Amino acid sequence: MTTYTVPLRDMRFVLHDVCNAADTLSVLPGYEEVSADLMDAVLEECAKLCEGVLFPLNQTGDKEGCTIKDGVVTTPKGFKEAYAQYVEGGWCGLTASPEYGGQGLPETIDYLVAEMVGSANLSFGLYPGLTQGTILALAAHGSDDQKKNYLPKLVSGEWQGTMCLTESHAGSDLGLLRTKAVPNGDGSYAVTGTKIFISAGEHDMTANHVHLVLARLPDAPEGSRGISMFLVPKFLLNADGTPGKRNAVSCGSIEHKMGMKASVTCVMNFDGATGWLVGPPHKGLAGMFVMMNKERMFVGGQGISQAETAYQSAAAYAKDRIQGRAASGPQRPDKAADPIIVHPDIRNKLLYARSVTEALRALGVWAHLQVDISHKHPDANVREHADDMVGLMTPILKASGTDLGSDITNSCLQVLGGHGYIGEHGMEQLVRDVRITAIYEGTNAIQALDLVGRKLGIGGGRLFAGWLKEVDQTLASLKGRNDLREFVLPFQDAMARLSAATVWLNEAAATDPNARGAAANEYLRLFALTVLGWMWVRMAAVATAKTDSGDPYYETKLQVGRYFMSRVLPQTGAVDAVMRSGSSPLMALSEAAF
């Protein structure tokens, strides 16, 4: 069986000691009441829900899965009741505006809540998780009536939202989509088309669904410039705002998936369904990307969440499973063999998992703190810089959180050996569940292309230069700290490598049209490892100053960080070398030779 205890101690360390979140947030308009005590109370309450309600449903939900009969989807046993508790606790509207019934708390807190929920039950977390993006998109682009009629129910969790983009012939290239929207003459539109891969498109946990659908108007220009966004509810609303007549939208089938079996993924048919335009005509992608950018960071956290559960489960197994003797001599002479945690290979896998996961968590908190600053800070220049950091880190958090999360779950399964491959131990479910996170909300290759093809070029390199200033401030604050040399020096080497790689990439792209595409994945990996090294420098600076406190947590933190600096960060050298091989090894082979 897998095991999961919410890592509240580590969350508090990152939130309070490393990122100083309470002081940063409490000076922002609307967050004046946000204190360390308030944040801790929220995390503790969520931990109870995750450990006591959601985690026990994870394996049973996977085994049972979702079912469909006559277009009606039923979620696994216990999910509907768990969701009712989730709604009752106010978790759906944690960050939403109080104007619509939300609690108005920072995105920084929501990130850690989402990580807990994902660690406890990844499938469950996807149901309310996608609605957060729906809320943001409607709040940013919806009409006053749309906000009034739909946001309070979405914020409360009584209704849920979806994003309907993908079609069978149009995956990442949304410019190819064919779904049509024809004016009805009364301000509404008849939406017709079929969408696939729609998470939570139909289920039995809420009274209504609010679909945000990308479609084309009759006069739409070709390509992505001709896409509009429409609000299409499952049930049309009565005059009093309650669900009334069933709309012409239905679930045609559900997908039979590798993992995430308790989270329903639907084929949705819109047969002249009544919908309303959200935002200006032909500007649907702008509205949808409000939702998608939120979800990309959310999905990065999903990868981190599975890494945490995998690590805890593998560590517990390694302490209990006895096989062989330690190379230095018997450690448990009272037993027939030593626990496998004495073996270097097992420790290597566990320390890799822990050191990367803890750095990713720190990155997630820091990045979401930038989201809050970008939304709330009174200084426009500060808001722009924070927004730049969010833009730069979104593809990195999404891709590295999910790629490394998948890598870690696989590695932790290996700790269990043959037992890891067997269903009742639960580890193989984590491997299956986490795999989708590198695919949906834009594959990780698309994240890499976004980074090298768009984010690096904005404002003549403004985003990268802004991040370099953040790093310089960190290093300047640690000048003369000889006790941190084992962290600072390896990080500085990685930074020099990343900076040189960025120059090389720009120069190579000037003469080779395939240069960015060939280097994108490795460049993002190099960037991600370097950013995680930065997180470890920041964490080590705090932990080193507190080792005399008598709390063993800080010395343990440093030992884990030393592993990252000596065994993980040096991978930047190999990644850099692969990246610099250029496009010719990829493009030289003729198509016919494949």
Give which of 313, 306, 314, 320 is closest to 347, Cα–Cα: 314
Please, how many CA atoms are within 13 Å of residue 71, restricted to the half-sphere of its CB?
9
Q: Which residues of 27-47 are buried (b: 16+ CB within 10 A; e: fewer)?
A: ebeebeebebeebbebbeebb
Q: Where are the alpha helices (DSSP H) in 65-181?
A: 79-88, 107-120, 122-141, 144-156
DSSP per position, 144-155: HHHHHHHHHHHH
Q: How far apart are CA 131 and CA 36, in angstroms?
A: 27
DSSP per position, 276-324: EEESSTT-HHHHHHHHHHHHHHHHHHHHHHHHHHHHHHHHHHHHH-B-S
Amino acid at 559: Q
DSSP state of 259: S
Asked if 163 and 295 count as a contact pair (C-beta separation under 8 A), the reply is yes
* Tokens of residue 208, six digits: 């209504």
Q: Classify residue 168 as exposed, middle or buried by CB count within 10 Å of its CB (0-12, 13-18, 19+).
A: exposed
* Tokens of residue 152, six digits: 């309070």
Residues paired with 189 in a beta bridge = 183, 275
Q: 243-246 and 265-278 as β-strands: parallel, antiparallel, unpaired? A: unpaired
Q: How far apart are CA 330 and CA 321, in angstroms?
A: 15
Q: How far apart are CA 84 and CA 199, in angstroms?
A: 19
Give which of 18, 15, 17 is closest to 39, Cα–Cα: 15
Q: Quick one: which H or E segment has residue 267?
A: strand 265-278
> Phi/psi at 492 (nearest 5 deg)?
-60, -35
Describe the chain by its helix, strand, coil percentages, rounded to 5. Answer: 65, 10, 25
Crossing angle of the two packed helices 485-509 and 462-477, in degrees rounded to 10: 160
Task: From the candidates 33, 441, 470, 507, give the one annotated as an active-site residue.
Answer: 441
Asked if 405 and 115 count as a contact pair (C-beta separation under 8 A), the reply is no
> Phi/psi at 459 (nearest 5 deg)?
60, 35
99 among known catalytic residues: no
Q: How far apart are CA 165 and CA 271, in angstroms?
A: 16
Q: How far apart are CA 300 and CA 488, in angstroms?
A: 26
CA distances from 533 to 164, 193, 565, 568 (A): 37, 47, 7, 9
Q: How far apart are CA 178 and CA 214, in angstroms?
A: 9
Catalytic residue numbers? 441
